[in-house]
C-alpha cells in the first residue's frame, strides 16, 4: 500500500435492503369481480376527418387500354371513349401512366386550348396526374378516383413495366387494340403459318391470364378483356381475313372477345392533335361536318364494349346517333 492510499476517498458500500416481511400463507382470497352489467361500455372514439369517405359508395369502373405493341391506336380509342362517356353525362377521370409520352393528357390539354380558342364549353374528364411511376401512388390515386367518378380511363404505354401491370391488375375492362397485322398478333398468340393452327399464347396474353387469376385478385365481377380491331378498311383484304381467322382461334385460349374498332380515317388524325372528336363538330360547325358512318363507327365500338352505363346506352339508342 502506498503512502497516500489510506487518504483516498473510498466509495460507500451500498445499503443492504431490509428483508421483506413474511407473507401470510395461504394468501387471502381475491375479491370477486363485479357483474358485467355494472361496467359502463366506453363510447367509440370519433372517426378522424380524413377517414370519413363513402366506403360503401359505388365503385368507379376502370377501363385500361393496354397493349405492349405500340402504334395500334390505344390513345385515340381511349380519348374517344372518354369524350363519349362525358357527352353521355358520366363523371369520368383520365390517367396516362406513360410519363414519357403522355399522349392522352396532351390530347386533353389541347382540348382545353381549343375551348379557349373557339370560346365554347366542351365536356371533358378529370385528369389524374402521377408524380412518378410508382405502383403505390397509382393504387391510391385510383382508390380515390373510384369514389368520385363513374369511370376511370387509363392509357398504358406500349411496353411492359411494373406500373402497367398494376393498372391491368386493377382493371375491370381491358381493351387491347390491334392492327390487321400478324406482327400485332404475336403479343396475343402464335399461329402456325403453314397449318394455321393455334400453337401457344403470346407474352401479353400470358400476363393478362396471370393477373386475372381469381387466386390473385378477388373481384366482384369477372374481368372483361376485349381485343379491338383498329384501322381496318371498308373492304377487307385477304390478309385482314386471315388475321380475323387467327384472332378467332386465339380468343378461346386467351379468354378475350373481339369487337370492332376505329378504321383508318383522316378525320381522326386531324382532330386528335387539337383535342376534338367527331361529336364536337356540332358545336364547332366551321370545322366541318362529320360523316354519318364515321359516327356510327364510334357508337358501334362503344356498344361492343358493353360498359355498365345506362346513360351511355341511352345516348347510343337516342335518335340521331344512327344517322344525321
Reduced to 3 DSSP states, what percent helix, strand and coil does the chain have, rounded to the nearest 5?
Answer: 40, 15, 45
Q: What is the pTM of this model?
A: 0.77
* Mean per-residue pLDDT over the chain, rounded: 81
Which sequence spans correspond to the domains of the chain? 57-315
- Non-local CB neighbours of 115 within 8 Å, separated by 6+ positions: 121, 122
Q: Does 57-315 carry CATH code 3.40.50.300?
A: yes
Check whether 211 has a pLDDT greater than 60. Answer: yes
> How far is Cα 175 from Cα 156, in angstroms, rounded to an integer?
10
Residue-level pLDDT at 72: 84
Mean pLDDT, residues 98-119: 91
Mean pLDDT, residues 154-183: 89
The C-alpha cell that represents 126 in the structure block: 378529370
> pLDDT band at 134, cuts 50/70/90?
confident
Check whether 257 has a pLDDT greater than 80. Answer: yes
Q: Write the DSSP symbol of residue 55.
A: T
pLDDT in tens, 300-313: 888 999 998 888 88
pLDDT in tens, 57-102: 457 999 999 988 878 889 999 999 999 999 999 999 999 998 888 8
Q: Which helix (H) or strand (E) holds 256?
A: none
Check whether 49 has a pLDDT greater than 50. Answer: no
**Collapsed DSSP state (helix, strand, coil) of residue 174:** strand
Amino acid at each position: 500500500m502506498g503512502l497516500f492510499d489510506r487518504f483516498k476517498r473510498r466509495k460507500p458500500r451500498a445499503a443492504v435492503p431490509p428483508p421483506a416481511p413474511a407473507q401470510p400463507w395461504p394468501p387471502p382470497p381475491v375479491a370477486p369481480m363485479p357483474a358485467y352489467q355494472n361496467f359502463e361500455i366506453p363510447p367509440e372514439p370519433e372517426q378522424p376527418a380524413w377517414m370519413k369517405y363513402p366506403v360503401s359508395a359505388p365503385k368507379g369502373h376502370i377501363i385500361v387500354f393496354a397493349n405492349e405493341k405500340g402504334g395500334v391506336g390505344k390513345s385515340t380509342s381511349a380519348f374517344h371513349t372518354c369524350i363519349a362517356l362525358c357527352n353521355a353525362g358520366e363523371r369520368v377521370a383520365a390517367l396516362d401512366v406513360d410519363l414519357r409520352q403522355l399522349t392522352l393528357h396532351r390530347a386533353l390539354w389541347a382540348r382545353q386550348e381549343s375551348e379557349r380558342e373557339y370560346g365554347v364549353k366542351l365536356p371533358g374528364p378529370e385528369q389524374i396526374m402521377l408524380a412518378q411511376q410508382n405502383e403505390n401512388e397509382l393504387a391510391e390515386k385510383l382508390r380515390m378516383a373510384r369514389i368520385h367518378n363513374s369511370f376511370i380511363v387509363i392509357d398504358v404505354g406500349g411496353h411492359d413495366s411494373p406500373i402497367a401491370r398494376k393498372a391491368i391488375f386493377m382493371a375491370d375492362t381491358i381493351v387491347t387494340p390491334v392492327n390487321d397485322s400478324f406482327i400485332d398478333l404475336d403479343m396475343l398468340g402464335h399461329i402456325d403459318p403453314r397449318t394455321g393452327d393455334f400453337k401457344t399464347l403470346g407474352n401479353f396474353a400470358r400476363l393478362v391470364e396471370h393477373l386475372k387469376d381469381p387466386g390473385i385478385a378477388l373481384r366482384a365481377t369477372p374481368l372483361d378483356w376485349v381485343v379491338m380491331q383498329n384501322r381496318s378498311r371498308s373492304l377487307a383484304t385477304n390478309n385482314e381475313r386471315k388475321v380475323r381467322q387467327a384472332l378467332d382461334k386465339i380468343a378461346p385460349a386467351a379468354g378475350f372477345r373481339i369487337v370492332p374498332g376505329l378504321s383508318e380515317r383522316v378525320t381522326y388524325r386531324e382532330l386528335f392533335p387539337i383535342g376534338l372528336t367527331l361529336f364536337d363538330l356540332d358545336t364547332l360547325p366551321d370545322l366541318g361536318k362529320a360523316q354519318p358512318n364515321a359516327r356510327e363507327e364510334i357508337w358501334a365500338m362503344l356498344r361492343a364494349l358493353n360498359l355498365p352505363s345506362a346513360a351511355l346506352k341511352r345516348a347510343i339508342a337516342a335518335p340521331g346517333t344512327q344517322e344525321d
